Structure 1
């Protein structure tokens, strides 16, 4: 498996990053251990999580994903073999405002380190922008964490093009740490925000791009065909807006091309992202060992120009992008 470098860092990742939002949500601790063992054995050693994962699950308060991942790394003795990414900016309190102030980052980073049972975080993301903290304050705080050895590199997710550009400018002009990775929502169901402005900024500044919701919360696996399929489930809030004519067009195109390659629909959805300009790797999750098959299918196949065109046109129908 060919690994890819992340930005101007010493970190490398497999062609697909595993999303740890399922730990403590759709996978309990025992099942999470099994999945992590399988991932590690197969070479998927970049794990993406966040301090608030999996707060939305019934009975959870946040931090469950980090706790499980931390216990697993300690039990298996593999911390130095894992590229560990987590995030800051959200609150453990429901409906609380986003916060990337110095005070919040310093407190949240200590809490994450304790839950993860580690002395350092390989890649620390600004998860969400609060649209008020000066970008210099946020970067200066990261600078302190890097100098203290608690963070190696930093990344950003969900920043507007304007705030991302301002952060990169401040880093250059004031000799502050630079975001090396950007994490946007990006899939066949969500293209516009990344493609309009942010992709160009990332390319010009040599930021690696790791896309989240790459399978649109499972919609692009073809598992869910009707809104009734997700009614009353944990995924309803993520999927309810996809069941329209645009979503059907995307699913139809994926299904046709999956049959042409004799692979899963998830594999086609991931392969499309992997072949899109400006993308380093998609982030994807799995809840069963069998689901990992689609990861290898995606890595092994090469979509033709004609197949990419079909997928581009089907997904562009939804967001008016070609």
Structure 2
């Protein structure tokens, strides 16, 4: 039995579950051959510990390699990539992964829709004492916020305020709905610290129904960073 299988059994025991729907391989390990990884995941699925497996923070090339290995050795390929996706991190989900979807059917699950709180408006007037950026060990986040690029991003968020007001929603709800509006995205993972945040974030469902192509185009124009397909970029 592989180390992964032992760890899976330990996790299932702690969760008090017989199996999970999907297990993710977070980042590739340069010390582990791809065949070894795919075989380990196939073992986990064949022994009823999980129904599917997916990748997280893998490049399109790495996902394609896993798929090719699975086909070559009659193993089980990944079904989903878990990717960072928000206003300021768009290329992978909007340009790279759609090609994989059309080639091998890999789905997309996204995380960090608020970019660690940057997009929520929380840091528009500095760093609140109760925020993540004020916590020990998150100096990198504070540095990011006060960097030149971070300040430019915050300025764009402030420009989205009138649009959010017009739609009668919060900046967080608008940002999550924007992620969900993509036909490439199967679901969006939320990071919340209390039930109030959860209730607010779930309000994105109402906003999603109001997010017209015209509104999305307006947001793209304001953000000014919509990725271009490779063929268009080379034209």
Q: Confirm or deny a common fold (TM above 0.5).
A: yes
Does the CA contact (< 8 Å) of 2:26 and 2:56 recur in 1?
yes
Distance in 2 (CA, whole Å) between partners of 1:178 and 1:275 is 27
Distance in 1 (CA, whole Å) between partners of 2:3 and 2:27 is 13
Q: Which residue of 2 aligns with 1:233?
A: 135
Q: Which runs of 5+ in 2 are unaligned?
A: 229-235
Distance in 1 (CA, whole Å) between partners of 2:45 and 2:62 is 22
C-alpha change, 1:175 and 1:242, in structure 2 (3 Å) is farther
C-alpha change, 1:206 and 1:228, in structure 2 (3 Å) is same
Does the CA contact (< 8 Å) of 2:83 and 2:109 recur in 1?
yes
2:189 corresponds, among 261, 283, 295, to 283
Does the CA contact (< 8 Å) of 2:64 and 2:100 recur in 1?
yes
- Superposition deviation, residue 220 in structure 1: 1.5
Look up the SS of the partner of 2:123 in the other structure: coil
2:160 corresponds, among 244, 254, 279, to 254
Where do 4+ consecutive residues of structure 1 move more than 6 Å?
Answer: none
Does the CA contact (< 8 Å) of 1:135 and 1:170 recur in 2?
yes
Deviations 1:51-105 (A, max 9, x none): xxxxxxxxxxxxxxxxxxxxxxxxxxxxxxxxxxxxxxxxxxxxxxxxxxx8442
TM-score normalised by length of structure 1 = 0.61
C-alpha change, 1:236 and 1:294, in structure 2 (3 Å) is farther
Distance in 2 (CA, whole Å) between partners of 1:224 and 1:183 is 26
2:51 maps to 1:152: yes
Distance in 2 (CA, whole Å) between partners of 1:249 and 1:232 is 20
2:227 maps to 1:321: yes
C-alpha change, 1:239 and 1:105, in structure 2 (3 Å) is farther
Distance in 1 (CA, whole Å) between partners of 2:78 and 2:145 is 32
Look up the SS of the partner of 1:284 in the other structure: coil
Look up the SS of the partner of 2:52 in the other structure: strand
Distance in 2 (CA, whole Å) between partners of 1:211 and 1:104 is 27
1:307 corresponds, among 208, 212, 215, to 215
Does the CA contact (< 8 Å) of 1:188 and 1:269 recur in 2?
yes
Deviations 1:152-211 (A, max 9, x none): 111111111111111112222322112111100111121233334233213432222110
Deviations 1:100-157 (A, max 9, x none): xx84422322331222122212110011111342222111111111121111111111
Aligned residues: 219
C-alpha change, 1:250 and 1:138, in structure 2 (3 Å) is same
More helix by share: 2
- Superposition deviation, residue 251 in structure 1: 0.8
CA RMSD of aligned residues (A): 2.4
Look up the SS of the partner of 1:179 in the other structure: coil
Look up the SS of the partner of 1:155 in the other structure: strand
C-alpha change, 1:155 and 1:214, in structure 2 (3 Å) is same
- Superposition deviation, residue 239 in structure 1: 5.5
> Which structure has the larger Rg over C-alpha atoms?
2
Deviations 1:6-49 (A, max 9, x none): xxxxxxxxxxxxxxxxxxxxxxxxxxxxxxxxxxxxxxxxxxxx
Distance in 1 (CA, whole Å) between partners of 2:144 and 2:91 is 16
Does the CA contact (< 8 Å) of 1:203 and 1:278 recur in 2?
no
